A and B are shown apart, each in its own frame.
Chain A
Amino acid sequence: MTRDLMFKDEIQQLVADAYRAVDDPDGPGERNYTPQQLDQLPSTARRWMLGVGNPVPAARLREGESVVDLGCGAGIDAQLAAALVGSSGHVTGVDMLPSMLDRGRTFARDAGLANLTFVNAEMEALPLADDGVDVVLSNGSINLSARKSRVLAEAFRALRPGGRLAVADLTIDEDDLPSEILTHPSAWAG
C-alpha cells in the first residue's frame, strides 16, 4: 500500500514537483469561465487554466481596489481581476513556483495589463502588510496546502477591515473515497 504523507514539507514538495512538471495543459479549467472572460485572455493563457471554479465574479470587484490572488499559478484569475479593478487598482499574484509566475508575467504583458505584479512566496507566509488589501482571491489552491488554517489566517491578516474573500476550491467527504486513493501521492497535487 502507498505510504501516507504525514509531513507538511513533504506534501508541499510533492505539490511543487507536480506543478513544476506540468508542461502543456489543455485548459482543463476553461469550462468554469464565461465566454466574455475567455475573450479577455490570450489564447496561450487559456491553456493554463488549472483552477476549479470562477471566483472573480463572486468577489464583486470595483475599480481602484487592491487584490491578492493566492496560489495564482499562471495568473488567470489575477488577469481577470486586474481588468476589473482598472488602472487605479492593483492585483498581486502570489505563487511558490517561479515558472508559473514567469508565465503569468508573460500573459499579463501580452494582455497589456500594467496593474498586475507577481510575487514568489508561499501563501502560508504572505509578504504583505496587515490590513492592506481589499480582496483576497484563490482558485483551487488552498486544498493543496498542508497548513490551510495558516493560509486562511494570512488571508485574514492581509485584508483590510471590511475586506472580502472569494475562493473556489475542492471539498471532499473523506468517507466517500477509499484510503488507497486518499493516500496516493498524486492525489495530493491533483
Chain B
Amino acid sequence: MSGALAERVFVTKLQKVGFTDVAVLDRQPFSMAAAADYPLFTPDLLELMERLLPSSAKEQVATAVTVTAGKPA
C-alpha cells in the first residue's frame, strides 16, 4: 500500500511510457477491514491503523482501481 500511487500519477505514468486510451473502469474502496483479510497486513500495522486513523478513514484506506490502456497500432 505504501508503494501505491495516486490515481492521477498512475495514469500519467502510463501515458508517459506511451500508452493511449487510458481509462479507469472501476474504483472500489479498500477498507481497513478488507486489509485485515490479507496476510500481508501484519497485526502491528493493523493496530497502528486502528489507533491512528479516524473512523471515516478506516472505510477507505486505499482505492482498488481497474485501469485499461492500449499500445498504439
Contact = CB atoms under 8 A, between A and B. Distances in A.
> Do A and B form a real pair?
yes
Interface of B: 1-7, 10, 13-14, 16-19, 25-26, 28, 30, 34-35, 37-42, 44-45, 48-49, 52-53, 57, 61-73
A186 B44 contact: yes
A164 B48 contact: no
B69 to A, nearest CB: 5
Interface string A45-56: 000001011110
Given A52-B30, A54-B66, A156-B17, 7 more contacts: A22-B40, A55-B66, A148-B13, A165-B67, A171-B64, A172-B4, A190-B41
Contacts of A59: 68
Contacts of A23: 39
Interface of A: 11, 18-19, 22-23, 25-26, 28, 32, 50, 52-55, 58-59, 140, 143-146, 148-149, 152-153, 155-156, 159-174, 176-178, 180-184, 186-190
B68 A166 contact: yes
Contacts, number: 158
Nearest to B2: A187
A61 to B, nearest CB: 12
A183 B2 contact: yes
Contacts of B34: 28
Contacts of B66: 53-55, 58, 166-168
Contacts of B30: 52, 170
A172 B10 contact: no
Contacts of A28: 34, 37-39
A152 B41 contact: no
Contacts of B14: 152, 165
B64 A169 contact: yes
Nearest to B42: A186
Contact of B26 (A53, A143, A178): A53
Nearest to A138: B67
B6 A172 contact: yes
A187 B53 CA distance: 14
